[in-house]
Each structure stands twice: as C-alpha cells, then as structure tokens.
Amino acid sequence: MSSQGTPAAGDKKGVWAALRRPSGRYSMLGLISVGFVAGVLFWGSFNASMEASNSMEFCISCHEMRQNIYEEYRKTAHYANPSGVRATCADCHVPRDWGHKLVRKVLSVRELYGKLAGTIDTKEKFEAKRLEMARIEWARMRASDSRECRNCHSYESMNLEGQQQRGRKQHELALRDGQTCIECHKGVAHKKPDGMTEEDAGA
Amino acid sequence: MMMGKTFLGLALALAAGAADAAAPADWSKVPSKTITLFYPGAAHWEWMQKATEHSGIKGMRKGESCAGCHDQETADMGKKMVTGQKVEPAPPKGKAAAIPVTVQAAHDGSNMYIRFSWKQPPSAGGAKQDPDNPVKLAFMLEDNKIEMANLAGCWLTCHQDARTMPDAKDDKRTKYVAGGALAGGKFFDLLQWKSGKGAKPADGYVADKRVMEGGKALVDVKAEQKGDTWTVTFARRLTGGEGDVTLVAGKAYNFDVAIHDDSAIGRFHHVSLGYSLGLDNAKVDINVVKQ
C-alpha cells in the first residue's frame, strides 16, 4: 500500500521543478519541434530588431539626428558620390560582425537614456555636447583600427596612382607610419566640432 | 660730388650694358616652367601650423613640402579662398583666383637673367590700394639656412600680425622671419619690380624685418606689356652684398614668387608655393641654364 499523503522523490513543486520534470504527455519530437520553431522566431525577431535599428530611417526618426548631423551628412561624399555607393549611419557607427555589434547595441542603451533625458534635444545642447560625443566615437574608431572604415576601404585595394596629389602624398605617409583612417579623416561625414584641440586633430 | 655721380651713372650704364649683352637673345631656347600663383587669403604661417585648420602640417613635420601636396591644385585653392569658402573673412569680389606665370632663367657666369611672363587678369574694379603701381612682381631666394624654408617657402615670412591681416594692429608691420638675421644667413633675399611710372625696383631682404633697399645684386629690370601679357626680366649678379644670396652652380636655393595685381598691397597678392632654383642643376624646379 502506498502512502498517498507523502510526495514521491522528485515530485517537488514550483516552476523550476516543473521545467526539470520529464514530460509524460508530449513526445520528444514534438518538444524539439516546438523548441526549434520558438527559437527561430525568437532569434529572427531579435536579429530583425537589431537590423531595423541599423537603418538610416530608424536613426533619423529622432529629431536630434535628423536636424543636426543628418543634414551635414547629406552634403558629403558618404551620402552621394559619382560611384553611387552610400555609407549610412550604421555602416560607420555599428560594427558588422555579430559580437562587436551586440556589444555596441548594448552600450547604446545609454543613448536611450539621453533621449529620455533630453540631453541633446535642442541645437544648442547638441553643439555643446558635439565635441564630447565626437571624442567618444573617435576613440572607439581608433581602438578598433578604424574597423568600420575598413569594411569598405583598405590600403590593399587603394590605387594611390589614381588619387589626386594631396591625397596620394598623405596616404603614402600614413601607410609608411602605420596610421589608421580616423587619425586624419575626422569630420568626413559631419561638421568638425568647435573647440577641437591640436591633440584631437592628431598633431 | 659731381664726379661721384658721373662715376655711378657710368657704372650703372656699364652694368646695364653688360646685362643687355649677355641676356639670352632667344628666350624660346631657354627651358620654362609654369608656376600657378594663387590668392592665399589670410592663410598666414600661424594658420598653416594649426592641425585643426590645416591638417597638412602633420605631413610637413614629416618633411613634406607645400608643393609636394598642393602643386597641382593651386588654382582650386585660390578659388576657395577668393570666394571666401576658406580662410578669407572678406572675399575680394571679382579678384582673380590664380595667375599662371611662366618662368625662365639663364646665366652667363656673372649674372642671372630671370624672366616672368603672365596674362594680366581683368580688374576687379574695386578700390586701388596702391594706385601708383597697378602691378608689382617680387621673387625671393633663400640659401637653406632657415629651418623649413625648403618646405614652406615664403610662408615663413607671412604672419598673422602683418598689415592687412584680419587681426593685425600695426599697419607698419610687414614680412619677417621668426629668428631671422643677416648674420648666419637667416634671411630671404627679395627683389621687386613695380609697374608705376618712374618706380625703381627694390633689392632688399626679409630677416627679422623687411628691408627694401641696400642689396648689391640687382642689375636692372626690364618690363613690357603687349596686350594683356606682361613680360618682366630681372638681371641679377650671382654675387651681391649684404642681404643677397650668392648663387653657386650645382646648389639648390629656395625660390618663391608673388604678384600684386590690380593695385593690391599686403596680403591681397597672388603667391607661389615654395620651389627650388639652381644654376646648371637639372634636379631643381627652375634650372638657371648657362648661355
């Protein structure tokens, strides 16, 4: 005779216990299938969200971006050029490889805080913070050896002979001295911040 | 006194005669180089050294010259500055952005003959800063004694406190070289021709200040205008006196040219980048060939 008032071994209650308890109702195949579909849906939506937040439309949906740096960017070769290749916000500011991209996305949470707090919600506030923000991005680019620039540009594929005299000379010197893109190419897609020091300019 | 004047006149006549006798009879046989002078705005030496304004200074500190990066784009640079897109707080409306000048030079063992030809740009029609002299042309020589003179040329003499610069306070302040001195040869030899009636050419130098007289090298200057084309030829002794660079075959000297067009003064001129000049030296920009 079994004792009905005493729980059997392993018959514990709670969510974790329920998750750990083998199913007596569903087949292994059913569980794997459901898990697979759920995984695809979760992963797909997660990745789609990340990609959606990489689009230029997403970036300029905030007036802070649209009214300030987007207008400057529209006048540069990264927006329109004879070859018809465009580099959008994420091409320069978000790493392409998944690991670095995830880190960048996580760090961008602080930008959400800035949005909510209205840190740069007027032109005046934006200009007051421009140098500080630029320095953060310059440091990030320098630390990664201008990784995002190099998604499109490289010394190996650069035809120095086809460049104009000034660019050719500067690239020859940079190549010789092992310089990275961002050391010279500050302000290529946005206005240079007021108050830049000689150190900022790489002197 | 009268005798002294007669002697001086005779000496000048002989000198001029000697120049006439030895100047190339056919300039078409003398090699030429076209140097495009451009409007430099207010881009003085202090501006040039700020990496935030002029990133090229980083290359210059590694030994690159102005001409090494900009020689082929001087006309575009002039356009940017004359229209106020860059380094010009008061764009001079109608002023030429650039003036291409053909330079030829020869020597006879005693004198150098250097000839400048250019097409005069249309007048901007503004106020005449120097109404007596519609056109002036100057060139400078330097004997590699001033640091960076081989890279920056006459920019070493052009400072933010010079007259006509936006922040200048002393309207008597002209060109100078920081640390410049005749002793030790730290000066730019300066020769200038003026188009004004009766105006005398100057033979001076720029050291700690600009001096427009006292040189012993200049023999004479001949200038003519045919239509809208100017041709100005300097005859200059290879060896002069104080403030004159001695020219020796085989060496390279730093060479710069400027034109004050349309009755301009001060910084409102057209200038060349720094180039090299030498006697019988195929490696320099302006090879002064033996006749």
Task: For A175-194, write each residue's pLDDT tens digit.
Answer: 999 999 999 999 999 999 99
Segment B262-281 shows an average pLDDT of 97
Q: Return the structure tokens found at A11.
A: 């018959």
pLDDT recorded at residue B1: 39
Model confidence pLDDT, tens digit, residues B106-157: 999 999 999 999 999 999 998 899 999 999 999 999 999 999 999 999 999 9
pLDDT at B234 over 90: yes
The residue of chain B with its CA nearest to that of A197 is B52
Contact of B63 with chain A, judged by CB distance below 8 Å, is answered with no
Q: From A195, which residue of chain B is nearest by alpha-carbon distance?
A: B52
Q: Best interface-test mutation with B: which of A165, A180, A181, A182 has the largest number of B CBs within 10 A?
A: A165
Per-residue model confidence as pLDDT tens digits over B85-111: 999 999 999 999 999 999 999 999 999
For the segment B27-55, what is each residue's pLDDT rounded down to a tens digit? Answer: 999 999 999 999 999 999 999 999 999 99
Determine whether the interchain pair A202/B50 forms a contact, defined as Cβ–Cβ distance below 8 Å.
no
Closest Cα in chain A to B70: A166
| Distance from C-alpha of A189 to C-alpha of B5, rounded to nearest angstrom | 69
Q: Does B54 touch chain A (CB under 8 A)?
A: no
Measured between beta carbons, which residues in chain A are less than 8 angstroms from residue B56?
166, 170
In this predicted structure, the answer to whether residue A197 has a pLDDT above a threshold of 60 is: yes
Taking the mean position of all CA atoms in its chain, how far away is CA B135?
Answer: 13
Q: Judge whether residue B15 has pLDDT over 50.
A: no
Answer yes or no: is pLDDT of B228 > 80: yes
Note whether A97 contacts B: Cβ–Cβ < 8 A.
Answer: no
Confidence of residue A11 (pLDDT cuts 50, 70, 90): low
pLDDT value of residue A15: 86
**Res B22 pLDDT > 90:** no
Domain regions of chain A by residue span: 29-184
pLDDT at A12 over 70: no
> At A13, is the pLDDT very low, low, confident or very high (cuts 50, 70, 90)?
confident
Q: Do B51 and A202 touch (CB under 8 A)?
A: yes
- Report the gap between the CA of A93 and the closest CA in chain B (Å): 23
Angle subtended by helix axes A28-52 and A98-107, to nearest 10: 70
Average pLDDT, chain A: 91
Q: pLDDT grade, residue A5 (50/70/90)?
A: very low
Share of chain B above pLDDT 90, in %: 90
pLDDT at B80 over 50: yes
Outline where B128-272 has alpha helix (H).
149-152
**For residues A43-81, b (16+ Cβ closer than 10 Å) or e, as one string?**
eeeeeeebeeebebeebbeeebbeebbbeebeeeebeee
What integer pLDDT is reported at residue B10 of this predicted model? 40
Mean pLDDT confidence for B65-88: 97
Report CA Rg, chain A. Answer: 26
Task: Give domain limits for chain B.
Answer: 2-290
Number of H helices, E strands in chain A: 11, 0
Query: Using 50, 70 and 90 to split pLDDT, how confident is the model at B17?
Result: very low
Q: Report CB contact under 8 Å: A200, B52.
A: yes
Q: What pLDDT was estimated at residue A24?
A: 83
If you classify domain B2-290 with CATH, what class do you get?
mainly beta
A-B CB pairs within 8 A amount to 44
Surface of A (140-159) touching B: CB under 8 A: none
What pLDDT shows up at residue A159? 95
pLDDT digits (tens, 9 = 90+) for B166-221: 999 999 999 999 999 999 999 999 999 999 999 999 999 999 999 999 999 999 99
Given a cut of 50, whether residue B5 has pLDDT beyond it is: no
Contact state of B73 with A164 under an 8 Å Cβ cutoff: yes
Cα of A199 to nearest chain B Cα, Å: 9
Question: C-alpha B179: how far from its chain's center?
Answer: 21
Q: What is the dihedral of CA A2, A8, A13, A17, to 10 degrees?
A: -150
pTM of this prediction?
0.85
Strand residue runs (E) in chain B: 32-38, 98-107, 111-119, 136-142, 188-194, 202-206, 210-211, 218-226, 229-237, 253-260, 270-271, 275-279, 286-290
Q: Which of residues 171-200 of A touch B (CB under 8 A)?
A: 173, 177, 184, 192, 196-198, 200
SS3 category, B172: coil
pLDDT the model gives residue A25: 85
Alpha-carbon distance A79 to nearest alpha carbon in chain B (angstroms):
21
Position A2 scores a pLDDT of 43
Q: How far is A95 from chain B (nearest CA, A)?
A: 27
> Closest-CA residue in chain A for B52?
A201
Q: Which of A166, A170, A201 sits opposite B51 (nearest CB)?
A: A201
Q: May I ask the CATH architecture of the domain A29-184? A: Orthogonal Bundle (1.10)
From A77's Cα to the closest Cα of chain B, the distance in A is 18
Model pLDDT, residue A50? 86
Tell me: the pLDDT tens digits for A133-177? 999 999 999 999 999 999 999 999 999 999 999 999 999 999 999
- Tell me: the pLDDT tens digits for A96-128? 999 999 999 999 989 999 999 999 999 999 999
Task: Supply the pLDDT for residue A45.
Answer: 92
Residue A20's pLDDT is 84
Contact A173 B62 (CB under 8 A): yes
